[in-house]
Structure 1
Amino acid sequence: MIRDRGNIKWTAMMLPEHVKLLREWQEQDKYVKKPELDEWALQELSEQLQLAYNQKREVELKVWEEKQIYKATGIITKLNQTNATLYLEDGRAIPFHSIFGVSLTIAE
């Protein structure tokens, strides 16, 4: 069985600039392209947000921000249509254009 040291053996021969560029390149591989929603998906998203806001139910939002995807959970306290932003109970403001998924949590 061959036991190779991988990148460790090559780092001594690399310039610091090369190492920096390789690390940046690896970080860029983790970037996620913004999901595009069609008209039907946007309509469904809008209906789910309205339902959650009117019933004061907890939601789990899938949010794309700065080339990353994360999940935000909470109760929607305000929908500001002039700024195209929704506000959660903990004070977070999430723009509408960065939301691409909504799911209502089950009430216990």
Structure 2
Amino acid sequence: MIRDRGNIKWTAMMLPEHVKLLREWQEQDQYVKKPELDEWALQELSEQLQLAYDQKREVELKVWEEKQIYKATGTIEKLNEKNATLYFEDGRAFPFQSIFGISFIIAE
């Protein structure tokens, strides 16, 4: 059985610049391209946001920020159309451009 040590055996021969570039390259592999929504998807997202705001329902948003996708859960307190920002009750704010998905959380 061959027991390879991976990059460990080569690091002694690598210049620090090469190691730095390899680490940056690995970080860039994890980047996610911003999802583009078409006109219909934007309209549906807008309607669902308005419905969640009117009914004060807890939602889970899919948010794209800094080349990463994450989920945020909360109740919508305010929709500011001037600033194009959505506010949760706990004070977190999300620009409309970064939101690309919404789902309602079912209360048990």
**CA displacement 1:69-89 (0-9 Å, x = unmatched):** 000000000000000000001
Q: How many residues align?
A: 108
Aligned to 2:75: 75
Q: State the Cα RMSD in Å.
A: 0.6
1:107 maps to 2:107: yes
CA distance in 2 between partners of 1:12 and 1:67 (Å): 32
Identity of aligned residues (%): 89
Gaps of 5+ in 2: none
CA distance in 2 between partners of 1:24 and 1:90 (Å): 35
**Structure 1 length-normalised TM:** 0.98
Gaps of 5+ in 1: none
Aligned to 1:94: 94
Runs of 4+ residues over 2 Å off in structure 1 = none
**Structure 2 length-normalised TM:** 0.98
> 1:2 deviation in Å?
1.0
Amino acid at match of 1:46: S
